[in-house]
Amino acid sequence: MSIEYKINAPVSTDQFIELLRESTLGERRPIEDRECMEGMVKNSNLMVTAWHGEELVGIARSMTDFHYACYLSDLAVHREYQKTGVGKKLQVITQGKLGPKCKLILVAAPTANSYYEHIGFTNNQRCWVLNREQSISD
């Protein structure tokens, strides 16, 4: 299987949504909200993608300052390409684009915790989330 990896290659909203559907990530992303999905693709500043021919088979979509922190927001690999090293390679390439002191940060699905620990991530319990319908209190 010949997989080509690209950095910041154009990805259409339809390609992104289709990949999320064909991976387990579609269950936890607003794939029916096209405007949101368009914004997610358009406003990412580091996207590493995996292609099998013309088909998008993997993506590591991040927001980063390249020096201190990189938030890996989405790591998705098409079901047919999972457990072949595509996801790990996407993360390796992402990390390689970051500065020498830049941390790679992600929020994992509970079922993926053992995977991230296995490849070297450290679990950090200090994540806090404020959903959009909530307001910051005084």
pTM of the model: 0.90
Name which of 105, 96, 92 is nearest 63 in CA terms: 105
Name which of 57, 48, 46 is nearest 15 in CA terms: 57
Residue 138 has pLDDT above 80, yes or no: no
pLDDT of residue 78: 97
CA 83 to chain centre: 16
Residue 48 lies in a domain: yes
Cα dist from 94 to 36, 55, 85, 128, 131, whole Å: 23, 20, 14, 24, 27
Residue 63, domain CATH: 3.40.630.30
CB-based contact 18:34 (threshold 8 Å): no
Residue 133 has pLDDT above 90, yes or no: no
CB-based contact 40:26 (threshold 8 Å): no
Segment 57-101, tens digit of pLDDT: 999 999 999 999 999 999 999 999 999 999 999 999 999 999 999
Residue 136 lies in a domain: no
Domain around 76: 4-118
Distance CA 50, CA 4 (A): 6
Q: Total structural domains in the chain?
A: 1
Distance CA 17, CA 26 (A): 8
pLDDT band of 44, cuts 50, 70, 90? very high
Residue 23 has pLDDT above 80, yes or no: yes
With a CB cutoff of 8 Å and minimum separation 6, the contacts of 96 are none
pLDDT of residue 137: 85
Average pLDDT, the chain: 92
Distance CA 40, CA 111 (A): 24
pLDDT of residue 118: 84
CB-based contact 83:1 (threshold 8 Å): no
Residue 43 has pLDDT above 80, yes or no: yes
Residue 128 lies in a domain: no
